[in-house]
Amino acid sequence: MEFPYAIREEQASMIKDIEDILSRGSHIILEAPTGFGKTITSLYPSLRYAITNGKKLLYLVRTNSQEQKVIEEAKKLGVKAVSMQGRAHMCPLSQELDEIKAGNAEELSLLCSKLKKEVNKGNRNACPYYANYLEKGDEMRDYILEVHTSEEIFQKGLQMEICPYEAVKDSLKEASIVVLPYIYFLAPFLRNTILDKMEVDFKDMILIVDEAHNFPDFARELRSDELTERALELMEKECLDYGNKIIMGKPCADVAEYIKEAIYQMEEFVDEDEGIIPHYAFEEEIAKMMDISVNDIPRLAMDLLKFGMAIREEKMNRRKLPRSYIYHAGNFLLAWKDSYATEYIHIVKMGKNPKVEIFCLDPAGITEIIRNVHASIHMSGTLSLESYRAIVNLPEDSLLRRYKSPFPPENLKILYVDDVTTKYEELEEHLDKIAKYVEEIVSVGRNTAVFFPSYSLLEKILKISDIRGMVEERGIKQLELHRRIENFKERGGVILSVFGGRISEGLDFPGKLLEIAVIVGIPYPKPTARLKMLTKYYDYKFGNGWEFAFKVPASIKIRQAIGRLIRSENDRGVAVILDRRAIQFKDEIPATKSKNLTREIKDFFEE
């Protein structure tokens, strides 16, 4: 196997480091900038080691576009690679039944298992695609092992009228590398299915986590849950549709109303729009309304679950998505009771759709499974190495590496000013000066993106300035955003966006399409009730909760925005941070204090 490109010096260092941890059965957490070639540079040594030593490589991605890049590079290395998406993306029935496409992983798995059993009993009409797969699946599996993206595999399945999802699963054991979304490794029931199909043990697996800065939050969300007013309204309707069964002496529809009213009663704990619910307060309110004991809540939950399971079974018998809001409410109440532990908090959030949440403070309970694999590689263009190791709970001896950009350092200039800030207590007095700075930078006449910490600040600056450009508005549809971006690429000008938006994180503007990035303020997260509790939890666990909860996320967002500028060796750009607090990030972001902002920007482009 040969590396398909000319190897740069920093790539050679990364390959050597990966070879080291593979040979030791260890872990590496690395940061390398966009354009470095992280995908191929991680694949090359990992696949060589895997093939030589009888291991399998699992490559975890967050988005379909990342998956496509991995498949492209795997083709160049000449290995058998299989890419997989969830049933919602790969089930042909979802093209015929919109309801199925809306199902979650558990619901789709249940329905799929039911339909396959029916086919195996001789009812091929239950799922013609699965029936066809059983009869003529060899050609489809051969096609998959020729190495294709999930979208190509799905289209081939439609063309052949064969289930591509089942074909992919049965192809996994033949592949040297399997490319999957995060959830297929983090969700136990999905992970077990994949490992069984791959016929591999943890000790024989090499794991690569792409865009690793997203990984802890994804794991945290997977261990969290919520129950909304809207879900309870749908539960009430479901109760009435299915006979309004008596649950612990009360009609099921009334139980939905009691739980909804209990959510409203939690408003006393709300500060602004959300608050922390003390232990047992929510359950005590439900118990009081239903005239039962708090100790009866688990029984209430189980009765709801049983009713919901019967409804799910009835729906599956009619080839319907097995969704039950009664089941969800019962499951949520059980989880609520089980989540009285230090790594969880209970939240009430008011607004258009009031809800209660079980929020996981610590993803380590789900990510520490990584310790069981032979070796793992965690990589990103923006990553706080030490913080990531601690949060994910990787071993202390994990290798931490930060690789230099392959592009000339003089191609990027980072400036900051120290006479403005977006700090909440001082923002109003600095608004006019911030607006003036943005106007001056835009007047230079280069294609510019301006990133704000919030939509409200973006709107305030637009009101008091003459700045005009393409705006990434709150809730803008993907198609409309794409249309505006294409218009910007044709005409140039100014983009106004927010940190964490689609422009700041995932879009490319090569060459002169984007030459200036303006960072308006430091994008510290809003100090919500949950974030304050997260800070306290990490204070207790690591001793520096503020850094984990506030500084690290802000640093990642700033560097992502700056990263829009330099995507190749020919790109040149200037980033400007309009906030005196930029000095707090001097170790991660080498910014120079500006003396004459406009002049320095013009001089850079005239060099």
- Mean pLDDT, residues 392-409: 93
pLDDT at 486: 86
By DSSP bridging, strand 225-228 and strand 355-360 are: antiparallel
Q: pLDDT tens, 428-441? A: 999 999 999 999 99
Domains, the chain, ranges and CATH?
1-79+176-223+363-406 (3.40.50.300), 87-164 (1.10.30.20), 239-360 (1.10.275.40), 409-606 (3.40.50.300)
Pairwise CA distance, residues 510 & 500, whole Å: 20
Please, which contacts does 268-272 make with residues 24 or more away whose CB atoms are closer than 8 Å? 269/348, 270/348, 270/349, 270/350, 271/529, 272/528
pLDDT at 507: 65
Judge whether residue 98 has pLDDT over 90.
no
By DSSP bridging, strand 344-349 and strand 355-360 are: antiparallel
pLDDT class of 530 with cuts at 50, 70, 90:
very high
Pairwise CA distance, residues 356 & 565, whole Å: 41
- Mean pLDDT, residues 26-52: 95
pLDDT at 34: 82
Judge whether residue 534 has pLDDT over 70.
yes
What is the four-CA torsion angle of 469, 470, 474, 475, rounded to 10 degrees? 160
- Mean pLDDT, residues 455-467: 92
List the single range of 60-69, 189-198, 312-321 with lowest mean pLDDT.
60-69
Judge whether residue 319 has pLDDT over 70.
yes
Judge whether residue 505 has pLDDT over 70.
no
Q: pLDDT tens, 166-187? A: 999 999 999 999 999 999 999 9
pLDDT class of 504 with cuts at 50, 70, 90:
low
Judge whether residue 567 has pLDDT over 90.
no
More confident residue, 86 or 253: 253
Q: pLDDT tens, 334-366? A: 999 889 888 999 999 998 999 999 999 999 999
Q: Sign of the C-alpha dihedral, residues 279, 281, 283, 284? A: positive
Q: Give the closest residue to 353 by CA, choosing from 507, 512, 226.
A: 226
Judge whether residue 605 has pLDDT over 90.
yes
Q: Is 126 exposed, middle or buried (0-12, 13-18, 19+ CB in 10 A)?
A: middle
Q: What is the pTM of this model?
A: 0.90
- Mean pLDDT, residues 524-548: 92
pLDDT at 67: 87
pLDDT at 322: 94
Q: pLDDT tens, 105-146? A: 889 889 999 999 999 999 999 999 999 999 999 999 999 999
pLDDT at 204: 96
Q: How high does pLDDT run on average in the chain?
A: 92
Cross-strand bridge partners of residue 470: 495
In the 8-state DSSP scheme, what is residue 279? T
DSSP 3-state of 516: strand
- Mean pLDDT, residues 267-274: 91
pLDDT class of 224 with cuts at 50, 70, 90:
very high
Tokens of 176: 């040297």
Q: Give the closest residue to 226 by CA, choosing from 342, 96, 339.
A: 339
Pairwise CA distance, residues 279 & 337, whole Å: 9
pLDDT at 88: 82
pLDDT at 490: 87
**Nearest-5° Cα angle at 315, 314 to 321:** 155
